Amino acid sequence: MLPESWDLLLGSCALFVSYEPGRREAISSEGIPVKFYQVEKTAWGFAQIAHSGPADWVTCCRDLPGWDVLPAETESAAFARIGLATIPPSERRPDILSGIKTE
């Protein structure tokens, strides 16, 4: 979707009380900040990892061979591309990546 399409959609949606033009960010009627990401289907798995973090862990993952090698339509497929089993966000720590060969 084009940026102006997001603005139109968020501005007309009853679920949101406000939005940030051009940023795909809105505030729900319950006061919850929401940010929308747009990604090609083939990169969805890497987007899930990158946006569920934590940031320092994702930074380490980006150095691993296979990061951004497509397709990776699921989070588990993206983990497989970097040679790991799926790790839930609550268990992601940079130290568990030590010893894994980077590019």
Q: Tell me, what's the pLDDT at 11?
A: 93
With a CB cutoff of 8 Å and minimum separation 6, the contacts of 83 are 64, 65, 66, 100
Task: List beta partners, residue 34.
Answer: 26
Domain ranges across the chain: 3-35, 41-96
Q: Range with the lowest mean pLDDT among 10-14, 16-20, 29-33, 93-97?
A: 93-97
Q: What does pTM read for this prediction? A: 0.76
Count of other CB atoms within 10 angstroms of residue 61: 22
